[in-house]
Amino acid sequence: MLAKRIIPCLDVKDGRVVKGVQFVGLRDAGDPVEAARRYDEAGADEITFLDITASHEKRGTLLDMVRAAADQIFVPLTVGGGVGSERDIEALLDAGADKIAINTAAVREPELVERAAARWGAQAIVVAIDARRVGTDEPSPTMGAPPGEPGSAPKPPRWTVVTHGGRRETGLDVVAWSKRITELGAGEILLTSMDRDGTKAGYDLALTRAVADAVRVPVIASGGVGTLAHLYEGLVEGGADAALCASIFHDGTYSVAEAKAYLAGRGVPVRLGEPRRGGS
Amino acid sequence: MARIVVVDLGMGNLRSVERAITRAAEDRGVASEVVRSGRAEDVLGADKIVVPGQGAFRDCAAALAGELGEALREAIRRGKPYLGICLGLQALFASSEEAPGAAGLGVFRGAVRRLDPGAGADAVKIPHIGWNRLEMTRTPEGALGAWGAEAPHVYFVHSYHAVPEDPSIVVATVTHGPNVVTAAVARDNVTAVQFHPEKSQGAGLVLLGAFVAA
């Protein structure tokens, strides 16, 4: 049975980790390559770099970083952030990335995803979707309808796709967009709740479930993890295939091994570290 | 010094495979030279051959249509150790549902079939992406025996898998919904895996190290 994946995500700007990574004995908390190597050793199932470097001139820094990381880690590496063309994709794959995450450019030009998947295979093309809730879980305030009448049925929540780090609304429905972009060739969906991102309040489980049920490719849940129980909820109740995490690991709150031991204890299939030889 | 040729079928980046083999050889203390080549004479001159591949079967078949494919068949006939990875496993078979009419090496009888997404409670996502635990179907010899008693989780990324006519060449499978996926095959000097040892952390390096050291 396929194991659920735990994926530490490193946000990178100008070749440096945006939020320092706390590892015992780590010489430089801002070095993305060393952080990636440590996560590999710690049993991460994959590693993701999201580059938020604003200027195009500094993209060379990203390529150098990907090259150095790919030489030292032996798990899949996904790179995203500012990927806008086949040339960008090719450069990152040549540098050693295994998968490329496309976000804003997929909305601007869905055919880019189609062409990229045809050229490099669906498995190499991840579409990142930033979602913001526009509906509500609460019963709709239908005037005059007594409780129990059809008019008081809870209105299902809806989400809209946002781009440019949440600053721009696209008007696209997240579930419909997920279906469309996977039909065009996206091999995975990296789904971030912009409402929950950074809150440590847990994943938006209704969002995760809605997309996981709508598409036939793996869904990576992102945005809101603060506790190990949140991981369990996202993977089981939300139906995600993988959990992307940042601060709970970077802060040193939990280790990857602790997260996996917790999930295994609750019956979630995960890849545990290889047993050590010779005793406890 | 063992000369290991990583066969370049022109299908993407081989850097991670080369790097993993080099690292695995270092870990085992084996002196080796890893060379990337798509030339028939290099294949025939190699001590060991690694054929990685990710992408489409049709492109793979096209790369094998000429003297490179002939050299690989000849090297296998001569008993040279061959390690196929992903498409490097599928290429050993004659044909694939992914590309009707395209011819593989035909070293093994059987075909490459699309994974079944299943339905209802058995429904699974395709591509089969992620870590799955091997189930050994027989006692493995050669490099595939390197893990010892406990079969590891290894990393998969694929939508098709080989279905051999002769089930005795299958060494390991994994389960993905309704599919019993062929994960590793072996016969004589030929070993091939559907998963990616270069992305399978310690378990992958152990396998590559055993292939290099054997």
Task: Give the residue ranges of chain B where pLDDT is below 70.
Answer: 12
Give the number of domains in chain B: 1
Query: Active-site residue B86, yes or no?
Result: yes
B130–A122 CB contact, under 8 Å: no
**Domains in chain A: ranges and CATH:** 5-128+162-265 (3.20.20.70)
What confidence tens digit (pLDDT) does each residue in A193-237 have?
Answer: 999 998 999 999 999 999 999 999 999 999 999 999 999 999 999
Inform me whether the pLDDT recorded for A276 exceeds 90: no
pLDDT at residue A89 in the model: 95
A132 touches chain B (CB under 8 A): no
What confidence tens digit (pLDDT) does each residue in A17-35 have?
Answer: 987 777 777 777 789 999 9
pLDDT at residue B55 in the model: 78
| A207 CB neighbour count, 10 Å cutoff | 26
Q: How far apart are CA B32 and CA B208, in angstroms?
A: 12
ipTM of the complex model? 0.89
pLDDT at residue A135 in the model: 67
Residue among B155, B205, B206 with most chain A CBs within 10 A, to mutate: B155
Residue A105 one-letter amino acid: A
Residue A140 pLDDT grade (very low, low, confident, very high; cuts 50, 70, 90): very low
Identify the residue with better confidence: B43 or A277. B43
Nearest by CB: A218 against B55, B129, B203: B129
Whole-number Cα distances in Å, A195 to A137, A154, A236, A242, B120: 14, 20, 20, 19, 32
pLDDT at residue A136 in the model: 63
pLDDT at residue A153 in the model: 66
A98–B127 CB contact, under 8 Å: no
pLDDT at residue A277 in the model: 33
Inform me whether the pLDDT recorded for A143 exceeds 90: no
A5–B131 CB contact, under 8 Å: yes
pLDDT at residue A40 in the model: 94
Set of chain A residues whose Cβ sits within 8 Å of the Cβ of B201: 40, 43, 74-75
- DSSP track, B36-74: EE--HHHHHH-SEEEE---S-HHHHHHHHSSHHHHHHHH
Nearest by CB: A274 against B12, B128, B202: B202
Q: How far apart are CA B191 and CA B211, in angstroms?
A: 9
Q: How far apart are CA B207 and CA A179, in angstroms?
A: 38
What domain range includes position B183? 2-213
Inform me whether the pLDDT recorded for A144 exceeds 90: no
- Chain B residue closest to A77 (CA)? B199
Inform me whether the pLDDT recorded for A152 exceeds 70: no
pLDDT at residue B122 in the model: 81
- Chain B residue closest to A275 (CA)? B150
Set of chain A residues whose Cβ sits within 8 Å of the Cβ of B20: 74
Identify the residue with better confidence: B88 or A167. B88
The CATH number for B38's domain is: 3.40.50.880
Q: Identify the bridge partners of residue B83 per DSSP, sorted by sequence position.
A: B50, B191
